[in-house]
Amino acid sequence: MGQAEDGTPCRLTHTVPIQALIDTGATATAIHHDIAAMLGLPKIDMQKVGTAHGEVDVPVVVAAVLFPPTEAGHEPIVHHLRVTAMNLGREAMLFGMDLMKYGVLEVNRVDETWGWSAPR
């Protein structure tokens, strides 16, 4: 049994590897509503979200986000987070600024590479 950041108890039993679009313009992380339903993520709230098409009410679910180990050997990081479940079109997940606080994102536009590491 885990807890969301706000202390809401939750039990997460399934994992699925998905790719996320890093969206520095997104305040909060979002997962595609079909994936949230497939995983049975617990709905804990509703929230208004601003989109390109205006404001919409969307469910808030609890999800565990696992970051893969980096080449430097950092261990995966697991957090139980409140994320919105919504129609993201072709994207499975939007990696919002709320996740940025859990690590260091390094983007190398010259070599077209990026890395994620735990804060030191």
Q: What is the pLDDT of residues 28-45, one digit of tens each?
A: 899 999 999 998 888 889
**Residue ranges per domain, the chain?**
2-117
* Intervals of the chain under pLDDT 50: 1-2
Pairing mode of beta strands 78-86, 54-66: antiparallel
pLDDT at position 9:
59
> Does residue 39 sit in helix, strand or coil?
helix
Q: 80 has which bridge partners?
A: 64
> Which two three-digit tokens encode residue 82?
């409140």
CATH number, domain 2-117: 2.40.70.10
The region that residue 39 occupies, defined by phi over 0 for left and psi between -120 and 50 for alpha, beta otherwise, is: alpha
